[in-house]
């Protein structure tokens, strides 16, 4: 699954610099995650780094975008090859 940022986002910018895929961008008014770039840090880290640094706990699973760990790894490899 890709991750999404909900309306509790405070636009603090903690998440954007830690994303290995540059999937997080400034939205209006809250940050957004590009589902086609989000691998939940599979391939780069053991767990989603954005969720670790988010002080508002506003980054959650997107139930509409389900992917297996293998699909996430394939996406990561395609982004970084």
The verdict on residue 42 lying in a domain is yes
The verdict on residue 54 lying in a domain is yes
The verdict on residue 57 lying in a domain is yes
- Structure confidence at residue 2 as a pLDDT band (50, 70, 90): confident
CB burial readout 22-37, b (16+ within 10 A) else e: ebbeeeeeebebebeb
- In whole angstroms, give the CA distance from residue 36 to residue 53: 21
Q: Which domain holds residue 7?
A: 3-70
Q: Find, among 28, 77, 35, the residue nearest to 59 by Cα.
A: 35
Structure tokens of 75?
């996406």
Query: Structurally, how many domains does the chain consist of?
Result: 1
CATH number at residue 65: 3.30.70.20
This prediction's pTM: 0.93
> What are the pLDDT digits (tens) for 6-46?
999 999 999 999 999 999 999 999 999 999 999 999 999 99
């Amino acid at each position: 699954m890709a991750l999404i940022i909900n309306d509790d986002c405070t636009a603090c910018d903690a998440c954007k610099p830690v994303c290995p895929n540059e999937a997080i961008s400034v939205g209006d008014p809250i940050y957004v995650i590009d589902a086609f770039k989000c691998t939940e840090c599979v391939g780069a880290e053991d767990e989603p780094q954005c969720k670790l640094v988010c002080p508002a706990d506003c980054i959650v699973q997107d139930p509409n975008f389900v992917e297996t760990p293998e699909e996430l790894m394939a996406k990561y490899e395609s982004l970084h090859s």
